[in-house]
Every structure is written in C-alpha cells, then in structure tokens.
C-alpha cells in the first residue's frame, strides 16, 4: 500500500428527489507515473490509482479509468440525482492491488 | 469583416483584464462562513498605504481553491500532520497528544510568530517550538526545516489561528533582529542586483513576465503552491526568491532568514492568518 493514502468525500446530507447535487472526492496519493527515473537512471515503477467508481445502493453511478498522466492527489467531482435515501460507496483501486473505500449516507426529503 | 472581428476580440479581452484588475481588492475571502481579512491599513513605518494578502493577487480559480477546505489541497498535509500529532516518537515514548490537549490549544500562536521567548532567550518560530518539543520533551530527533513533515505540522498549527489578526511585536528584545531583517529586505543582492523591496514594495501589482507580483506577505504560509503540489515554508520561499534574482540563498533556518522572517511577518501586521493558503 502506498504511503499516506486517505480518501476524502463530500456528499450533502440530504437531497431533493430527482434534483442534481454535487459530489466531490479526493484521495491523497503520490500517483507515480512510471515515466520517471531515479538518480541511478532506473525507472521508478508506476504506482497510481487506476480506477475509481461510485455506487449508490448497489447501482453504479460513475466509473473512471485513471492513467499515468493524472497528477498527484486525484480529485474527481461529479453530479448525481437520486430518488430514494441510501448510501453512496466510493472505491479507488491502486496498482498494488489495494482498494480504498469510503461511504456516505444521504436522505431524500 | 475579418479585421472587424479581430479588433472586437481584442477589445473584449482587454475589458476582461481590466475587470479582474479592478476586482482585486473588493472580493472577500470566506472560508466556512468566516470572513478572512485580506487587506489592512499598513503600519506607519511602511512606505505603502495598505497591506494586501497574496490571495488578492491570484486568479479567481486559485482564490476559489482556498475558499473551501475540501478544495484546498493544503488540507491533505494537515491531515497527515494530525497523524503525526498522535504518533509516538523518541525516547520519552510520547506524542504531541501526550502533553497537549489538541492542536486547537495553539490558537493564536501563529499570529504572533516569530516572537521573543523569554524562557528560550531567543526569537522563536513555529519550527523552533516544534523542535524544542520534539527534542526536550519527546527525546526525538529534531525535524529539518522546509521538509514535508515539518511543513505539514506548521500548517496544522497555523490553521488553528486562521482568521486571527497578525500581530508581531517589533519592539523589546526582538528589535535588533527586526532591524537586521529590515536591512536585508532593502539590500540589493545577486547578479540581478535586486532587493526584496524592488519587487514587493515598488512593483507589487505589476507583472514580472507571467507572474503577478504580490507584496510578498507571509500570512498565508505554509502555502500550497500549484507549481510544486506541496506545502512551501517561509524559508523555502525566501530561498526560491533569492535564486530567482541569482543570489546565493542563505540557509533555511539561518540567522539571516530568521531576521528576514521576523521583519516580513511584521510587514503583514493587520492581515489575517491564512495558512495553509493556496498560491500558484
């Protein structure tokens, strides 16, 4: 697992059914591109978050494939609208196989 | 027709530019419902009328990043510092949390630093306080200045004073050091033969190539800079400035930079603590 990885998510506590609201996500990660070399000339192996997904009550909301050119601490912001109360789950997949998750509850009303 | 379109475009872009320039001071920096003052009347010993935070000189996009703690990338490092706060280190088997109630107990400290400390018998910066704690109370190795862990901890402790008015004492035992700092500020150095004042006092608000010159205030430090995606310490920034004018920088944590920090901090008296701020 890469060092100092901490997912952060902001979702409103409540929403109006069918009305779009904003979700912000940020995960601290060094996002080593795999293109850099160390002082001895050896390639530093790639170590990035390569996949992000967000689900609501088991249904997929958004998926993103991240590549080596994405800068450190990737920040993803998007909008969603829901019809019922439930839980958003967020998943980031690391090159080293680790998976970081976070979840937020939201109520409609 | 073609010519007409072109001149119209130029006119529009000029109008936009004038718009941003005039909006410079009037906009307010509001974070979490708290308004942070980004301008203040200058002290009477200054040759300028008004002191302005570096925030006022940045683009709307950069300013917006600082107006929401979620968007402020500097907060990532604050989170890391909270982990360090609770991490036991050194021979005494203590962490910061073992002795202190919480980072909140340092509210107000950043606004007064650097300041003369009677017990230590010298002018102390935030870094000094952190290292005194680490060495004397925790029995741990002192952290190097301008390195990630140190800068993150400085950011965490600065954050506790956010919005408080900078009030650095320039009289009393610190007066000699302040005088030395003032001298450095106005001394031309380097191949370009420039003093701090040439850019940050005589020409703030003007462009130096693609950069918008600010007053060089340090109320927002440690600052997250978009150019290097990390927190930058005051002394690290001083070094950068000196390299830009092709001078040999004084060392990070050196007596010269300590004096300069005291003087530059006092130039910002009346502004608010912003750290960790976002700059480009």
* Res A75: pLDDT: 92
* Res A2: pLDDT: 62
Q: Is B208 helix (H, G, I), strand (E, B) or coil?
A: strand
Residue A35 counted as domain residue = yes
One pLDDT digit (tens) per residue for chain B, 280 residues: 344 443 333 333 333 343 344 334 346 888 877 888 888 888 888 888 899 999 989 988 888 888 888 889 999 999 999 999 999 998 988 899 989 988 999 999 999 989 999 899 999 999 999 999 999 999 999 999 999 999 999 999 999 999 899 999 998 899 999 999 999 999 999 999 999 999 999 999 999 888 899 999 999 999 999 998 899 999 999 999 999 999 999 999 999 999 999 999 999 999 999 989 999 8
Q: What are the structural domain ranges in chain B?
A: 29-73+165-279, 75-159
Indicate whether this model's pTM tops 0.90.
Answer: no
Cross-chain Cβ contact B70/A24 below 8 Å = yes
Size of interface A-B (CB pairs under 8 A): 20
**Domains B29-73+165-279 and B75-159 agree in fold:** yes
Nearest CB to A6; choose among B71, B73, B79: B79
Hey, what CATH topology would domain B75-159 get?
Cytochrome Bc1 Complex; Chain D, domain 2 (1.10.760)
Residue A79 counted as domain residue = yes
* Res B150: pLDDT: 93
* Res A1: pLDDT: 53
Neighbours of B262 (CB within 10 A): 26
- What pLDDT, in 10s, does the model give residues A60-96? 999 999 998 998 889 999 999 999 999 999 999 999 8
* Exposure b/e, B187-196, CB count within 10 A at least 16 = b: eebbeeebbb
User: Is CATH 1.10.760.10 what the domain over B29-73+165-279 is classified as, yes or no?
Assistant: yes
Residue A65 counted as domain residue = yes
Host domain of residue A85: 6-108
Residue A30 counted as domain residue = yes
Residue A74 counted as domain residue = yes
Cross-chain Cβ contact B76/A73 below 8 Å = yes
The answer to whether the complex's ipTM is over 0.90 is: no
Residue A1 counted as domain residue = no
Residue A91 counted as domain residue = yes
Q: Is B199 an annotated catalytic residue?
A: no
Interface test with A, best of B76, B80, B155 (most A CBs within 10 A): B76
Residue A32 counted as domain residue = yes
CATH classification at residue A59:
2.60.40.10
């Amino acid at each position: 697992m890469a060092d100092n990885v901490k997912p952060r998510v902001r979702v409103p506590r409540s929403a109006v059914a069918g009305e779009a609201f904003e979700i912000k996500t940020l995960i601290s990660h060094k996002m080593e591109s795999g293109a850099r070399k160390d002082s001895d000339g050896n390639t530093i192996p790639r170590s990035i978050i390569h996949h992000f997904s967000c689900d609501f009550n088991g249904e997929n909301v958004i998926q993103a494939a991240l590549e080596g050119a994405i800068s450190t601490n990737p920040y993803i912001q998007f909008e969603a609208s829901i019809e019922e109360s439930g839980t958003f789950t967020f998943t980031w997949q690391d090159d080293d196989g680790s998976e970081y998750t976070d979840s937020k509850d939201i109520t409609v009303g | 027709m073609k010519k007409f379109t072109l001149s119209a475009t130029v006119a529009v872009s000029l109008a936009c530019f004038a718009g941003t320039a005039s909006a410079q001071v009037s906009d307010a920096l509001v974070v979490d419902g708290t308004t942070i003052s980004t301008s203040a009347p200058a002290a009477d010993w200054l040759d300028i009328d008004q002191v302005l935070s570096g925030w006022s000189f940045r683009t709307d996009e950069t300013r917006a990043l600082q107006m929401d703690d979620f968007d402020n990338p500097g907060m990532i490092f604050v989170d890391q510092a909270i982990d360090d706060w609770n991490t036991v280190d050194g021979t005494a088997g203590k962490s910061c949390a073992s002795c202190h109630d919480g980072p909140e107990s340092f509210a107000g400290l950043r606004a007064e630093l650097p300041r003369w400390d009677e017990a230590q018998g010298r002018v102390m910066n935030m870094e000094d306080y952190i290292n005194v704690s680490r060495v004397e109370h925790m029995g741990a190795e002192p952290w190097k200045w301008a390195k990630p862990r140190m800068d993150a901890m400085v950011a965490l402790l600065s954050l506790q004073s956010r919005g408080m008015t900078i009030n650095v004492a320039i009289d009393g035992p610190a007066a000699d050091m302040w005088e030395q700092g003032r001298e450095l500020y106005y001394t031309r150095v380097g191949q370009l033969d420039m003093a701090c004042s040439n850019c940050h006092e005589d020409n703030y608000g003007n462009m130096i190539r693609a950069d918008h010159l600010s007053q060089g205030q340090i109320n927002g430090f440690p600052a997250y800079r978009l150019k290097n995606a990390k927190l930058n310490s005051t002394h690290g920034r001083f070094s950068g400035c000196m390299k830009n004018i092709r001078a040999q920088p004084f060392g990070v944590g050196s007596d010269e930079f300590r004096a300069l920090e005291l003087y530059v901090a006092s130039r910002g008296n009346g502004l608010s603590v912003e750290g960790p701020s976002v700059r480009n």
